[in-house]
Amino acid sequence: MALENLNLDIKKGATGLLGPNGAGKSTFLKTILGLIQATSGEGTVLGHDIRTEGAAIRARIGYMPEYDALNPDMDAINQVRYSGELLGMNPIVALQRAHASLQYVGLGEQRYREIKSFSTGMKQATKLACAIIHDPELIIADEPSNGLDSTAREFMIDTLINTVKQGDRSVLMASHLMDDVERVCDDIVLLHKGKLAAQGRIKDLKAIDREIEIHVWGGASKLEAAMIQRGMRVRREGRVMRIANESEDLTSEILLCASQVGAQIRRMHEYEASLEDLFLVIMENLGYDVKSSEDLFSHPIHARKVDAPGHMGGGAS
Amino acid sequence: MSDDEEILPQSLPQPMTIEPQPQPLAQPQPQPMASVPQAPILPIPQQVQKVESVETRMATAETPVTGQARMDTAWGSSEGDEDISQMASISQTDTGEIFKQNYEPWRGELNPRWMRNWAILRHHILGIFKKGHRPWGVPTRIFLVLVFFASLSDAALTLLSSLLGDSEFHSYWGVNRDNLYGHVLGFFPRNVMYYPIVAALLVGGVISEDRLHGTSALYFSRPINRFDYVGMKYASVAFIQAIIIIFTLFLYYLTEIMVFGRGWAWIVDTFPIFLGALMGGVLLIITYTSIGLALSSVSKGKFFPGIGLLAIILGTKTLAIIVKNLFDREILYLLSPYDCLAHVGQTLVNTQPTYDQYSWTWSLASLIVMNAIALYVLSSRVSSMEVTRE
């Protein structure tokens, strides 16, 4: 997948890289690792030019691949030590750091075991140890919690959070698991078909879907019209409506509209989208020309209609 | 009694309680000993017993149901109006930490390119001898040791001939033109049983297992370029073969000098032949390694490259023999790496050529073409190896 017109500025800290299969995540990672030459444009990673200084970039990055990248016949300590030697570390120093790294990822007691006897979680932890052996400034974790059980997944996520907070390192985390991204990262980059679909702080991006949800009985269309007339942003699926929560006295205004048109509001509650909802909203409804959270906020309301049939108030045919 | 009547509480008779009265135990009276001076009785320091602090909390949905709570519920004798905060309690104890996750920074400097390349070379070569480096299979290690000692058979027999003082025996095994050639390029047993199998075992998984296990990502996500990666793999496989072929050739030559006390005149006379054999050995190592690594780069696993290399070396040789015997045509030797090497080697050592229908330059050209094709396949396959997914 070719990347096109990708203009990104990733800040220090934890950033999630999201996108469906074929979105260009792997291409993006290879580009910033300096393994793919950009045909046009430019970029820097940690101050190094991605076109000419790939080796210097890779020396300062720790890459944790998604797939198996360990020799099953080696024991963990020597595998991690060798990964340090491949960076140019002295063998003795690499061995010391391998011990420290494996201890950090929770494999201190298992470091002399052969990797083929490891569980998936232990293999993932070993890959992380390989990535952090030289204390890189940026750790790229490609699907770090893929295939892990809940305990191992918790530990992996906690380790990444600890690496960011205690270690003061940056993490670029590519994952399909939105919960994990939400826990580790403050920012996200959303790719689709090689283009940037959204970028920004998760908190800001989620604000686009902070809404009041009401369930209406009788006069729903009149209520919808009244609310739109008062400047509210409404999307509707039958008797369920969501109104963009943009003013402090929104609930009063909704109730006022309902009393004016004689509609019953049988349920009203605040609705905040999860990151997964946000992902779906952006992917399915926004189109792919959005660049930042500001663009998302300013996007026309009709684009955010839910995929309900037209006769139910939705945008789908 | 009407519905409006109040039910006034009646004074109930007090239940009879039987409380055992504690009887004071008779304290033994100490009898002072008249003749022994009384030492002052010091107060015994009270041992401060650490009591596990128990914090009582209101039970919530998250409160664990302890055995005590269940027992109270099932068998408690009270009316059920207990303060439920006493039903379950969480013990707040200092448990200590078995594992504490501490991120340890590292402020060292990474060494330059040569150190990374040395790490790859070292990893592969030391793996033959010790644990912790590339895990070569046990059969491979055993076979390498056996072949190493078998390759020293001519040196050992030279030593034996000097001990026996038998000149005829020495003429069979001592250093001469044919024996130097035979050490490197003799067909049986060395190029049937030793060197092609050694090459097949070595090249088998060198690159293909990186594809299989995904360990190529470990290399290419580091500051290692493709040339260094394949160059060091090539060098390490060639180096191990060189220990078996070239180093034993050198030991053979050295043994002759040492045990027979050869002088400079003999050395000057035979050294060009030794160099010719050495060059033949280098050509053999390069050719076998190039073809073998090319096969390794197009596969996953060690079986196909190994078998493929043996099939190319021995299969083409067999085909050439069949064609020669049936049609008296030697042209198919040009397809056989071994035959081309032997032809060029005979020229280098200046021994009796067995491929006399064609010029040795044809064989040399064929070798160059074979190596070029193998290196092209190798480089193109390695350059397409992925860091993210194979």
Q: What's the pLDDT tens digit per position in B161-217?
A: 999 988 888 889 999 999 999 999 999 999 999 999 999 999 999 999 999 998 998
Q: How many angstroms separate the CA of residue A248 from the nearest CA in chain B?
A: 34
Check CB contact under 8 Å for B112 and A88: yes
Q: What is the mean pLDDT of chain B?
A: 82
Task: Answer yes or no: is pLDDT of B222 > 90.
Answer: yes
With an 8 Å Cβ cutoff, are A86 and B219 in contact? yes
Q: Which two tokens stand for residue A198?
A: 């959204």
Confidence of residue B11 (pLDDT cuts 50, 70, 90): very low
Chain A window 102-141: which residues touch B at a Cβ cutoff of 8 Å?
104, 106, 108, 130, 134-135
Q: How far is B131 from chain A (nearest CA, A)?
A: 9
Give per-residue burial for A261-284: e unless 16+ CB within 10 Å, then b: bebebeeeeeeebebeebbebbbe
Q: Is the pLDDT assigned to residue B44 strictly greater than 60?
A: no
Distance between CA atoms of residues B305 and B301, nearest Å: 8
Distance from CA of B115 to the nearest CA of A (A): 6
Q: Quick check: B280 and B184 in contact, CB under 8 A?
A: yes
Contacts of A66 in chain B (CB under 8 A): 388-389
Residue B281, C-beta contacts closer than 8 angstroms, at least 6 positions apart: B184, B185, B242, B245, B246, B249
pLDDT tens for each residue of chain A, 317 residues long: 677 777 778 889 999 998 877 788 888 888 888 877 778 888 889 999 988 898 999 999 999 998 889 999 999 999 999 999 999 999 999 999 999 999 999 999 999 999 999 999 999 999 999 999 999 999 999 999 988 999 999 999 999 999 999 999 999 999 888 888 989 999 989 887 788 878 888 877 776 667 888 988 888 899 999 999 998 988 888 888 888 887 778 889 999 999 999 888 988 988 766 677 677 766 665 554 444 444 444 444 433 433 334 443 344 43
Contacts of A279 (CB under 8 A, 6+ apart): A18, A178, A190
Q: Does A70 touch chain B (CB under 8 A)?
A: yes
Q: Do B217 and A29 touch (CB under 8 A)?
A: no
Evaluate whether B303 touches B309 at the Cβ level (below 8 Å).
no
Are the CB atoms for A172 and A15 separated by under 8 Å? yes
CA B14 to chain centre: 85
Contact B106 A135 (CB under 8 A): yes
* Contacting B residues, span 82-111, partner chain A, CB-CB under 8 Å: 99, 101-108, 110-111
Q: What contacts A87, CB < 8 A, 6 or more positions away?
A: A59, A133, A134, B110, B116, B222, B223
CA distance B382 to chain A (A): 13
A144, A196, B193 from A64: Cα distances, Å: 8, 23, 43
Would an 8 Å CB–CB cutoff place A187 in contact with chain B? no
By C-alpha distance, the chain A residue nearest B220 is: A35
For B119, which of A63, A75, A85 is closest by C-beta distance? A85
Q: What is the pLDDT of residue B60?
A: 54
CB contact under 8 A, B221 and A85: no
- Closest residue in chain A to residue B222, using alpha carbons only: A58
Residues of A in contact with B107 (CB under 8 A): 135
Q: Which domains does chain A have, with CATH numbers?
A: 14-192 (3.40.50.300), 205-312 (3.30.70.260)
pLDDT digits (tens, 9 = 90+) for B228-272: 999 999 999 999 999 999 999 999 999 999 999 999 999 999 999
B119/A82 Cβ within 8 A: yes
Residue B136 to residue B142: CA distance in whole angstroms: 10
Do A272 and A209 form a contact (C-beta atoms < 8 A)? yes
Q: Which residues of A touch B112 (CB under 8 A)?
A: 88
Min distance A201 CA to chain B CA atoms (Å):
26
pLDDT score at A296: 46
Q: What is the pLDDT of residue B314?
A: 95
The arithmetic mean of pLDDT across residues B365-369, rounded, is 97
Evaluate whether B308 touches B260 at the Cβ level (below 8 Å).
no
Contact A86 B116 (CB under 8 A): yes
- The pLDDT of residue B37 is 43
pLDDT of residue B79 exceeding 70: no
- Residues of A whose CB is below 8 A from B122: 85, 91
- pLDDT band at B96; cut points 50, 70, 90: low
Q: Which residues pair with A216 in a beta bridge?
A: A265
- Which of chain A's residues have a Cβ under 8 Å away from the Cβ of B125? none
Domain regions of chain B by residue span:
116-383
pLDDT at B361 over 90: yes
What whole-number distance in Å separates Cα of residue A139 and Cα of residue A127?
A: 11
A35 → closest Cβ in B107, B116, B387: B387
Predicted interface score ipTM higher than 0.90: no
Q: Cβ–Cβ of A30/B387 closer than 8 Å? A: yes
pLDDT tens string B304-338:
999 999 999 999 999 999 999 999 888 899 999 99
The predicted structure's pLDDT at residue A177: 82
A163 and B103 within 8 Å at the Cβ level: the answer is yes
Q: Check residues B275 and B29 and name the one with the higher pLDDT.
A: B275
State the count of interchain CB pairs (< 8 A) between A and B. 130
Measure CB to CB from residue B213 to each of A66, A72, A130 and give the nearest one. Answer: A72
- Give the model's pLDDT for residue A294: 47
Looking at chain B, the whole-number percentage of residues with pLDDT higher than 90 is: 63
Contacts with B110 from chain A: Cβ below 8 Å: 59, 87-89, 134
Could you say which residues from 107 to 166 on chain B have a Cβ atom under 8 Å away from some Cβ of chain A?
A: 107-108, 110-113, 115-116, 119-120, 122-123, 131-135
**Among B105, B115, B215, whose Cβ lies nearest the Cβ of A135?**
B105
Per residue in B111-138, pLDDT tens?
999 999 999 999 999 999 999 999 999 9
Give how far A32 is from chain B: nearest CA, Å.
11
Judged against a pLDDT cut of 80, whether residue B46 lies above it is answered with no
